[in-house]
DNA sequence: CTGTTAGCGCTTTCAC
DNA sequence: GTGAAAGCGCTAACAG
């Protein structure tokens, strides 16, 4: 009736005794440090295996007694999503300091590869680990690889540089996110046929490009009744997004769906609600799917102007980045399942 | 450019010196233990505040040196969702034992209040904390309250007993989950009008009842074109679910949506795919929304027979339950944001 | 009421 | 190659 999943009470000392060696030797074997005869290594390893011995992390942490410093390299400028990540890091401060960890924010122009690369290079010696919202560019890749070579742990956050040797990526699969957006737009449009608009910050941004790719893929293969218009670029700015979208809506009366890939949400909403006014009486508004749950998208979802937001949980990303950097620094295993960032579909009734 | 969120390097000793007292006194104040003159308390607290002092958790854990035992009281019988929670607890075993924590599974008939209550009563002295998939019933409530009175930390898991004095509930808001399901069915049905079926395990289960409530609420207020048929009960069994649903589908040709509140998914799928066959050529199948991502629902989503699954992440629930029990046992703060279980909408393209 | 002290289990010199 | 021993920062007896 009761099945135990865990037991341990042994200590290094017990293992040492069983293996007929001293504490120090067990410690060396445990951490693959050199200076132990192969035969001794084997004896110790056997004792460890035999007892399924797990060293007590608290004791190790205390004995090591080292404070760790991490840096978060994030975009300067007022991006609500990034601000949420910062805010969640702030909420962790008690957690961090009771573990002698420190996290520092480094703001930089992440859209300029040379600036970003330079920022990264400058951090090498000061930090045990770095989380960076990275632009996928050769210069940035080189900077990341240099950090890694210098022994710094590096995780990419939100936006990845897959070709680099970063230790981990904390963020969503953007192609799948785009596919999800596409499936939602298609399904929510229902039987109607017509055109679908896409507005992105820039197609040069890897995450935007991937989302668009996934979106178009699904549209083409599963919703033949819907035709996708050429992608608009709003540079993630409200004014420009509103302008280009309004023009498009004016030109095509039969737009039934809209995918906003990046920010500039207020502008998109403005253009859309203007159209909604003039459409009053029509059977249904344009289906509008975008990204991220912010104060604004929350309001739009509640109003019904926006139908769904594809979201990556910023609190989870902040905590996962810290935990992964810490695990990397300590040489502990990473709980992949726990650290994986999911693609959340947020609609009015499951707003977090 | 770089803004620090955290700093600390002080120890109890530093605080003791600043306050002009001994280590032990600071420790007493820190843990609100009695036996310190109010004036001294104030002085110490001031020193703590002034330095924003955070005791080193690793040191505390080591010094306390106590192993903690937790029990998970879960339904006997083969419920895939519960098995997933167990599996994720299993994956944590290294994490657990390196912290000198143990988790034991206690299987019981959680649907029989007296059996469940008796199981709980029997555990009082052996565990520091208990997570229980609870039935909301006066006997169970009393058993939980007794545990709490005895100093055991109690969290309800998946299914809550809000009237009890349990310390925490790990699970979703089931009314909101039902609303989410309703909105999805309504939106995915689109312009068509017709009937919507609901099949539940039992309306006597609190979580099922709440989901139904939320679902009907949304249907009534937002989808006047859809009428909800009386709730079917399938007792979470495949055979019975298939039977009652098949009969219903036979009687009403104009069913356009289906909400499966609990398990019995295979039966539901059977009934539905049979109907789909005979409907071949019709414009669209019945919209089918259910709960939880299991091997089966995953397959159904990929096939397209199922449109969406409302899900609560079992891995997250398992880890959150352990973390919360641990925080409660140690008297540490709970990171509410981290432990909150979200209502996930899972469709084909964002399958985890 | 308050202080002293002996560990908790591991890491890390420093000797041998 | 290996071992002995001094802490890491806190907790918990036990004295006073």
Instruction: Determine how β-strand B153-157 pairs with β-strand B129-132.
Output: parallel
Counting residues of chain B whose pLDDT is more than 90, the rounded percentage is 80
User: What pLDDT sits at residue A280?
Assistant: 62
3-state secondary structure of A291: strand
| Interval B36-49 mean pLDDT | 92
- Would you tell me which CATH number, out of the four given (3.40.50.970, 3.40.50.410, 3.40.50.300, 3.40.50.2300), belongs to the domain B68-169+313-341? 3.40.50.2300
- Report chain B's C-alpha Rg in angstroms: 25
Closest by Cβ to A54, choosing from B98, B176, B350: B98
Closest by Cβ to B97, choosing from A8, A218, A352: A8
The stretches of A161-294 forming alpha helices (DSSP H) are: 174-189, 206-222, 238-251, 265-279
What tokens does A321 get? Answer: 């980045």
Contacts of A130 in chain B (CB under 8 A): none
Distance CA A1, CA B291 (A): 28
In the DSSP assignment, the letter for residue A201 is S
What tokens does B225 get? Answer: 């074109």
Residues 262-291 of B with CB under 8 A from A: 283
What's the pLDDT tens digit per position in B304-326?
999 999 999 999 999 999 999 99
Higher-confidence residue: A33 or B78?
Answer: A33
Do the Cβ atoms of A58 and B191 come within 8 Å? no
Q: Are A124 and A147 in contact (CB under 8 A)?
A: yes
User: What pLDDT sits at residue A199?
Assistant: 97
Do the Cβ atoms of A8 and B177 come within 8 Å? no
Contacts of B177 in chain A (CB under 8 A): 350
Task: Compute CA B238 distance to the chain's CA centroid, rounded to the nearest angstrom.
Answer: 24
Residues 72-91 of A with CB under 8 A from B: 88-91
Q: How many helices, marked H, and strands, marked E, lie in chain B?
A: 15, 13
| Interval A97-102 mean pLDDT | 93
Closest by Cβ to B4, choosing from A56, A102, A176: A102
Do the Cβ atoms of B344 and A347 come within 8 Å? no
Nearest of A174, A152, A175, A176 to residue A165 by alpha carbon: A152
Q: Are B183 and B157 in contact (CB under 8 A)?
A: no
Do the Cβ atoms of A8 and B352 come within 8 Å? no
B11 band by pLDDT with thresholds 50, 70 and 90: very high
Taking residue B98's Cβ as centre, other Cβ atoms within 10 Å add up to 20
Same fold flag, B12-64 and B68-169+313-341: no
Residue nearest to nucleotide C9 (CA to C1'): A59
Closest by Cβ to B342, choosing from A91, A307, A352: A352
- Report chain A's C-alpha Rg in angstroms: 25
pLDDT greater than 90 at residue B2: no
Ramachandran angles phi, psi of A108, nearest 5°:
-155, 170
Question: Which of A30, A52, A58 to mutate to probe the B interface, most B CBs <10 Å?
Answer: A58
Ramachandran angles phi, psi of B224, nearest 5°:
-60, -20
The stretches of B92-137 forming alpha helices (DSSP H) are: 93-97, 113-121
User: What pLDDT sits at residue B1?
Assistant: 46
Do the Cβ atoms of A102 and B6 come within 8 Å? yes
Question: Highest mean pLDDT: which of A27-31, A340-344, B27-31?
Answer: A340-344
User: What pLDDT sits at residue A1?
Assistant: 46
Contacts of A7 in chain B (CB under 8 A): 97, 102
Q: A with B: how many residue pairs have Cβ under 8 Å apart?
A: 191
What tokens does A320 get? Answer: 């996962």
Give the nearest nucleotide to B57, CA to C1': D10
Q: What is the pTM of this model?
A: 0.91
For the domain made up of A174-311, give the CATH fold.
Answer: Rossmann fold (3.40.50)
Contacts of A14 in chain B (CB under 8 A): none
Nearest of A315, A262, A341 to residue A84 by alpha carbon: A315
Do the Cβ atoms of A104 and B4 come within 8 Å? yes
Q: Is A58 on the interface with B (CB under 8 A)?
A: yes
Distance CA A246, CA A183 (A): 24
B285 band by pLDDT with thresholds 50, 70 and 90: confident
Do the Cβ atoms of B102 and A5 come within 8 Å? yes
User: What pLDDT sits at residue B280?
Assistant: 62
Taking residue A297's Cβ as centre, other Cβ atoms within 10 Å add up to 24
The 8 Å CB, 24+ separation contacts for A280-283 are A283/B191
Least confidently predicted of A5-9, A150-154, B126-130, B191-195 = A5-9
Counting residues of chain B whose pLDDT is more than 70, the rounded percentage is 96
Do the Cβ atoms of B335 and A99 come within 8 Å? no
Q: Is A210 on the interface with B (CB under 8 A)?
A: no
Q: Is B105 on the interface with A (CB under 8 A)?
A: yes
Do the Cβ atoms of B96 and A5 come within 8 Å? yes
User: What pLDDT sits at residue B275?
Assistant: 77
Nearest of B158, B150, B112 to residue B132 by alpha carbon: B158
Distance CA B209, CA B201 (A): 10
What's the pLDDT tens digit per position in B158-180?
999 999 999 999 999 999 999 99
Helix (H) or strand (E) holding A111: none
In the DSSP assignment, the letter for residue B295 is H
pLDDT greater than 80 at residue B276: no
Taking residue A121's Cβ as centre, other Cβ atoms within 10 Å add up to 15
Instruction: Compare all CA atoms of chain A with the CA of B181 and give the residue at the minimum distance.
Output: A349
For the domain made up of A12-64, give the CATH fold.
Answer: 434 Repressor (Amino-terminal Domain) (1.10.260)
Nearest of A168, A135, A128, A131 to residue A150 by alpha carbon: A128
Contacts of B8 in chain A (CB under 8 A): 97, 100
- Kindly list the domain boundaries of chain A, sorted by start residue: 12-64, 68-169+313-341, 174-311
Higher-confidence residue: A65 or A252?
Answer: A252
* DSSP for B144-208, written as a single string: HHHHHHTT-EEEEESS--TTS--SEEES--HHHHHHHHHHHHHHHHTT--EEEEEEES-TTSHHH
Residues 324-343 of B with CB under 8 A from A: 333, 335, 337-338, 340, 342-343
What's the pLDDT tens digit per position in A70-84?
999 998 877 888 999
CB burial of residue A77 (10 Å; 0-12, 13-18, 19+): exposed
Give the nearest nucleotide to A44, CA to C1': D2
In terms of phi and psi (left: phi > 0; alpha: psi -120 to 50; beta: otherwise), the region of A97 is: alpha
Q: Is A348 on the interface with B (CB under 8 A)?
A: yes
3-state secondary structure of B213: helix
What's the pLDDT tens digit per position in A274-323?
877 776 655 568 999 999 999 999 999 999 999 999 999 999 999 999 99
């Amino acid at each position: 009736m009761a099945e135990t999943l865990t037991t341990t009470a042994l200590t290094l000392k017990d293992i040492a005794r069983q293996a007929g060696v001293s504490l120090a030797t067990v410690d060396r074997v445990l951490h693959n440090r050199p200076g132990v005869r192969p035969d001794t290594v084997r004896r110790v390893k056997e004792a460890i295996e035999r007892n399924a011995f797990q060293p007590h992390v608290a004791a190790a942490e205390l004995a090591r007694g080292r404070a760790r410093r991490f840096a978060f390299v994030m975009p300067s400028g007022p991006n609500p999503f990034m601000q949420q990540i910062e805010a969640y890091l702030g909420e962790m401060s008690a957690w961090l300091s009771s573990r002698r960890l420190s996290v520092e924010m480094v703001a930089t122009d992440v859209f300029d590869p040379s600036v970003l690369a330079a920022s990264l290079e400058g951090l090498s010696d000061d930090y045990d680990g770095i989380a960076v919202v990275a632009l996928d560019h050769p210069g940035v890749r080189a900077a990341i690889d240099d950090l890694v070579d210098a022994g710094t742990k590096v995780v990419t956050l939100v936006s990845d540089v897959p070709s680099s040797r970063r230790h981990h990526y904390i963020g969503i699969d953007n192609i799948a996110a785009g596919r999800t957006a596409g499936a939602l737009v298609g399904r929510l449009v229902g039987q109607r046929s017509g055109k679908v608009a896409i507005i992105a910050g820039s197609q040069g941004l890897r995450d935007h490009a991937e989302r668009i790719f996934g979106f178009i893929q699904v549209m083409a293969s599963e919703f033949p009744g819907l035709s996708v218009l050429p992608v608009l670029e709003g540079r993630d700015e409200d004014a420009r997004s509103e302008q280009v979208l309004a023009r498009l809506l004016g030109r095509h009366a039969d737009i039934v769906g809209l995918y906003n890939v990046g920010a500039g949400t207020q502008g998109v909403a403005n253009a859309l609600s203007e159209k909604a006014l003039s459409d009053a009486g029509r059977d249904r508004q344009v289906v509008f799917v975008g990204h991220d749950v912010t104060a604004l998208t929350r309001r739009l979802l509640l109003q019904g102007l926006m139908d769904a937001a594809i979201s990556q949980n910023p609190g989870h990303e902040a905590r996962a980045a810290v935990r992964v950097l810490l695990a990397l620094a300590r040489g502990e295993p990473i709980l992949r399942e726990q650290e994986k960032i999911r693609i959340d579909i947020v609609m009015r009734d499951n707003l977090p």
